[in-house]
Amino acid sequence: MEEIYDFEEAKKRAMAEAKKFGKTIIEIREDEEYWLFEAGIPGKKFFDNNSGSVYINKKNGTMKAFHLPNIENLKFLENSKIIYKIDK
């Protein structure tokens, strides 16, 4: 699938969303259709409801929230690859 939406623009939008929750992007995953920008607090290991984490569609830039547990989201995690991960 050819990417149409700009990755840097997607990243900027995801960072703004994470910032609303006092977080930053700690991991980015992708599959053929989506990027997943996972929000968190570097160096903090605690239960998190994934607030601020978003999917962005590579084709049209549509953004949607990412929440666990959700079977669709678990499948994405299983079938996607990590393209960025912050050192914790």
Per residue in 21-59, pLDDT (tens digit) is: 999 999 999 999 999 999 988 877 666 678 899 999 999
Which residues span the domain enclosing 77?
Answer: 7-85
**Which of 77 and 19 is assigned the larger pLDDT?**
19
2 domain residue, yes or no:
no
What share of the chain has pLDDT > 90, as a percent? 65
1 domain residue, yes or no:
no
Count of structural domains within the chain: 1
The mean pLDDT of the chain is 88
Q: What is the pLDDT of residue 39?
A: 93
Put the strands of the sheet holding 63-65 in their side by side order. Answer: 63-65, 54-57, 34-40, 24-30, 81-85
Which CA distances in Å does 83 have to 21, 46, 47, 86? 23, 23, 23, 10
